[in-house]
Amino acid sequence: MIANLQDAYKSRWLAVDTETNALDPRWDPQFKCLGISIAFRNELGVMCSEYYPINHWDSNETEDTINEVRWLITTHPGLVFHNAKFDLVVLDRMGIKPTGDYLDTMLMAHWIDENLFSKELDWLGKRFLGRGKAMTPELDSVINSFGWGLVPGAFMKKYASTDAELTFDLCMKFMKKWNDEGYAGALWAREQEFLALISRMERQGIVIDTDFCKEQIDIGERTMQELLFKVGFNPSSNPQLGEYLINQMGLPVVKNTKTGRPSFDKYAMAEYEEILEQREDATAQNILAYRGWQKTVSSNYRAYLDLLCTDGRLRPNFLLHGTRTGRLSCRKPNLQQIPKSSDHPWNGGLKRAFLGSEGYRLLGFDYSNLELRLAAIYAREDALIDAFNAGFKPFDELAARLNKPRNLCKNLTYAILYGGGINRIKNLFGLDWQAAKELREEFFRVYPNLQETIQYASNLSKRRGYVSLWTERRRHFDRRDDDAHKAFNSIIQGGAAELVKSRQLAVAREIDWDTCRMILSVHDELVFESADPKWEPIIKEIMMDVNGLNPNFHKVAFPVESKIWGLAA
């Protein structure tokens, strides 16, 4: 049924969807919103929807109707979007600033079941409603031939209206579980504030040192050629790499394909690269260097240049629904993969690719051992708590107790916290099964409460199908027995993300964005460009002030290190 704008005010929720010319609304001056669709169900439960063409080349609504739609969206008490971060920027470009509450079906789906295969509207519609988007052959042909910007309004009508209808019905489908899990109140209000902050950071962007990127690409390509000669085979070829890793180095098969052959996908390779890090073998180190340069050149330096906006700034897309643990993820490009400064020639100096705006310095503020501090609190592990509060570095303390190298103790600690068992330790350090078992037992003799808490979280996730973070947001497990070993890591990794988010919002409320701008969030680190040195101590103080967040956080200090971003530690 065609929507009546007056009836729309009678509906508690109004779904809104925007159609654009596919240019980036965050910065591109050529961007246009082609039209807006709305959907709701009237008092009889009948679906009402309409598409209002605004900037099509052929025909558009009258100015009076467009103004009515603007006013409806501005004043309606409850809007529903699918990917609100995008639609709100589009509306803002049109001068529309909603004043009511809103929901986001993409984030609703993610919060109530982060294990879903996809959070895309079409997939969710087919999964939960039995119907998807209304892409017709005619519309598809026009888009492929001329692009979104030249789609006639009549061709867009059914497609756009269906998007709004799907968004509305998905919201109603998710609403009960959303409310039952306690997401409708303060937790969602905080997420709305966070979404606005992330959107502001994206629109700001960050300056790239293009000359440095080009220089590193040249160095990387030359180095890879030299390493290729030294290694004697192509480390980017899975068959050749597999032959060396498994048949010559004798490494275990860490993952199999569906056909039973050894897998070398990105997950398996991440584990193999961790294993290679522990080996002193020259060929192993050359393989690691080759793959490191290959990834950094393609995914970082070259991607930064390819995705640079015409104003010289890089604007990544931060995803609030991209990880199961609740951490932010990022794409185009992935700025969550910026490593800490190190002596790795391929990416140890990657932060030098970023610059502050003219008159601004880039400052990074990084929590120290954040996840391990949360683990100590949850486990009530006095040995760790005392070490932290005495100012000791925990891995030094563990190395002294186990009489093992510090780097081994660090990797062992995180392997265990990330749910690794005896086989994981065996593969990582090249031990036999018995030696790996004894090393794990030694660790837990030092930290017995940690072992009990990891087991408790595992049992809890098996029984309930979820664990709760300190904010009461849940991490769900649809394969309870298979994924139970991830439960404790989910609590501390998700808890760390929630803590950073909370302090990020607190800082954003305090700073003057004319002289200090938050521009990146990289896991446990926040990056600012600042024109006034007064902000450095203020930001540190706010980030370290976590006691009011949770009654147990006072047990351990949460120190924050600040430095000029890009300088070595």
- Cα gap 185→179, rounded to integer Å: 9
Residue 256: predicted pLDDT: 84
Residue 94: predicted pLDDT: 95
- 136: confidence class by pLDDT, cuts 50, 70, 90: confident
Asked whether the CA dihedral 474, 480, 483, 485 is positive or negative, the reply is: positive
- Facing residues of 363 across strands? 528, 564
* Mean predicted confidence (pLDDT) in 487-504: 96
**Average confidence score pLDDT of the chain:** 92
* Mean predicted confidence (pLDDT) in 556-562: 94
Residue 73: predicted pLDDT: 97
- 408: confidence class by pLDDT, cuts 50, 70, 90: confident
Which of 180-194, 230-244, 495-509 has the weakest average pLDDT? 230-244
- 188: confidence class by pLDDT, cuts 50, 70, 90: very high
* Share of residues in the chain with pLDDT > 90 (%): 73
Residue 396, classed as helix, strand or coil, is helix
What is the H or E stretch that residue 354 is in? strand 354-355
For CATH 1.20.1060.10, list the domain ranges present in the chain.
206-314
* Mean predicted confidence (pLDDT) in 286-290: 91
Could you tell me the CA-to-CA distances from 471 to 188, 236, 340, 541 in Å, in that order? Answer: 11, 42, 28, 22
- Cα gap 216→293, rounded to integer Å: 9
Residue 505: predicted pLDDT: 98
Question: Mind listing the pLDDT tens digit for each residue in 345-384?
Answer: 999 899 999 999 999 999 999 999 999 999 999 999 998 8
Nearest Cα residue to 147 out of 302, 233, 30, 40:
30
- Cα gap 384→382, rounded to integer Å: 5
Asked whether the CA dihedral 161, 166, 169, 175 is positive or negative, the reply is: negative
Question: Mind listing the pLDDT tens digit for each residue in 233-259?
Answer: 999 888 888 888 888 888 888 888 888
Residue 33 φ then ψ, to 5° = -85, 120
Which of 177-191, 258-272, 350-364 has the weakest average pLDDT? 258-272
Residue 146: predicted pLDDT: 80
Which of 50-64, 121-135, 254-268, 363-377 has the weakest average pLDDT? 254-268
Nearest Cα residue to 17 out of 108, 72, 103, 87:
87
Give the right CATH number for 206-314 from 2.40.420.20, 3.40.640.10, 1.10.1740.110, 1.20.1060.10.
1.20.1060.10
* Share of residues in the chain with pLDDT > 70 (%): 99
Question: Mind listing the pLDDT tens digit for each residue in 167-176?
Answer: 999 999 999 9
Farthest-apart Cα atoms in the chain, separation: 78
DSSP 111-140: HH-TT-S---HHHHHHHHTS------HHHH
Rg (CA), the chain: 26
* Mean predicted confidence (pLDDT) in 203-229: 96
For CATH 3.30.420.10, list the domain ranges present in the chain.
5-184
Structure tokens at 18: 């925007």
pLDDT at 461 over 90: yes
Residue 569: predicted pLDDT: 33
Strand order in the sheet with 206-208: 313-314, 206-208, 354-355
Which of 33-42, 388-397, 444-453 has the weakest average pLDDT? 388-397
Domain 5-184 has CATH 3.30.420.10: yes
Residue 4, classed as helix, strand or coil, is coil
Residue 1: predicted pLDDT: 67
Topology given in CATH for the domain delimited by 371-472: DNA polymerase; domain 1 (1.10.150)
Structure tokens at 256: 């199999």
Structure tokens at 281: 């073998």
* Count of H-run helices and E-run strands, the chain: 23, 16
Contact in structure between 10 and 76 (CB atoms under 8 Å): no
- 443: confidence class by pLDDT, cuts 50, 70, 90: very high
Helices (H), 430-479: 433-446, 448-464
Residue 521: predicted pLDDT: 94
DSSP 369-390: SHHHHHHHHHHT-HHHHHHHHT
According to DSSP, the β-strands at 206-208 and 101-104 are: unpaired
- Cα gap 11→25, rounded to integer Å: 29
Q: What is the pTM of this model?
A: 0.93
pLDDT at 416 over 50: yes
* Mean predicted confidence (pLDDT) in 75-91: 98
Residue 568: predicted pLDDT: 41
* Mean predicted confidence (pLDDT) in 458-469: 96
For CATH 1.10.150.20, list the domain ranges present in the chain.
371-472
- 567: confidence class by pLDDT, cuts 50, 70, 90: low
